[in-house]
Amino acid sequence: MSETAKIILGSLLLTGAFAHPAQAVESTEAATPAAALSADGWISLFDGQTLNGWIPKVRGYETGLNPLQTFRAENGVLSVNYAGYDAFEDRFGHLFYELPYSHYRLRLEYRFTGAAIPGTPGWAIRNSGAMLHAQAPGSMNPDQDFPISIEFQFLGGLSDGQARPTGNLCTPGTHVELQGVLTEEHCINSRSPTFHGDQWVMAEAIMLGSERAEHLINGESVLTYGGLMTGGGVVSGHDPELKPERAPLAQGYIALQSEGHPIEFRNIQLLNLKGCMDPEADAYRPHFTVSDPSACAD
C-alpha cells in the first residue's frame, strides 16, 4: 500500500467512517444498546421486540429514517417488509448495528418469505445478506446504493433445478485475497448446499480484522479468505475518499440488507474476540483472542 493510501485510511478511521457510530441520527427508535452479555460471552444484538440499537439507511433517504417501515421487529423476528411499497424503485436498504467491531463471530438465522415486490432486479430475488466491516451509516450519502463493505451473501433456491449456494462473498467497494492471491471478482460462491422454500438457515461469519474471514452455514465451513481491503467498484453514490485502493479493511459495522425480497432474521448474536487478556483483570474473558489493554481498565 502506498504512503498516500495509508494517510487516507488513517484519516478515515479517525473521522469515524469505519470506526464510530453515526452522529445526529434521526430515528424513531432510540439508539440505546440492545446487547445483553450471556455467560459464554455471546451478545444478543436484537432484543426481539424493537429496533433499539439499530440504524436504518435506505437509498434516497437520510441516515436514521425508516421509510415505509421497511425494517420491523416483533415476536422475536426482525423483518424486511415491503407492505408499504408499490414498487422497489432501487431503494436498497441496510439496517446497521450501532457499534463497530474488528475481531468477532457473528451468527444469525434467516429465511426468505413471500415474493419479491415489483421492480426488484432479477438478481435480487431471494437475495439478501449481512454487510461486514461496513462504513459507518452516517458516512453514507443519501443516494448511495450499498455501503463499502464485505458482504456475507444469503441466497435462496429458485426451484429451477439449478444449484444456488448461500453464504457467499460479495465485495461492494472492496477486494479480498483467495489463498493469498488478490481477486477482483465481485461475487464468489461458497461450497454450501442450496436451500429452497422458507426454511430457517443458520449463518455464521468469523471476522479477524483484515487478515482472515470464514463463512459457515448450519455449522459447516463453506468459504475462507483473507487480505480484506477497500477498492474496486460495484458501489455508487459514495464519497471516493472512503474507498482508497487496496487499503486494509480491518474493522467496521454490521448491516442487514433490504434488496426487494422479504426476509426475516432472528437470534442475531455476536461474540467479540477482542478484549482484556489479563487473567487478573475483572474484564478478562477466556474467549478473547486479540488483546485490547484499554478494556482491562476498571
Assess contact for 266 and 108: CB atoms under 8 A.
yes
Q: Which domains, ranges and CATH numbers included, belong to the chain?
A: 3-296 (2.60.120.560)
Dihedral Cα 25, 26, 27, 28, nearest 10 deg: 140
Q: How confident is the model at residue 19, as a pLDDT? A: 64
Q: How confident is the model at residue 40, as a pLDDT? A: 82
d(CA 156, CA 262): 12
Q: How confident is the model at residue 20, as a pLDDT? A: 41
Q: What is the mean pLDDT of the chain?
A: 90
Assess contact for 146 and 172: CB atoms under 8 A.
yes
Enumerate residue ranges in the chain where pLDDT < 50: 1-15, 20-34
Q: What residues form DSSP beta bridges with 270?
A: 43, 106
d(CA 272, CA 207): 10
Q: How confident is the model at residue 8, as a pLDDT? A: 40
pLDDT in tens, 256-288: 999 999 999 999 999 999 999 999 999 999 999
Alpha helices in the chain (DSSP H): 3-15
Distance of CA 65 to the CA centre of its chain: 18
Q: How confident is the model at residue 226, as a pLDDT? A: 98
Looking only at the bridges linking them, the beta strands covering 274-275 and 290-291 are: parallel
d(CA 31, CA 33): 7
pLDDT in tens, 92-104: 999 999 999 999 9
Q: How confident is the model at residue 16, as a pLDDT? A: 62
Q: How confident is the model at residue 17, as a pLDDT? A: 80
pLDDT in tens, 140-171: 999 999 999 999 999 999 999 999 999 999 99
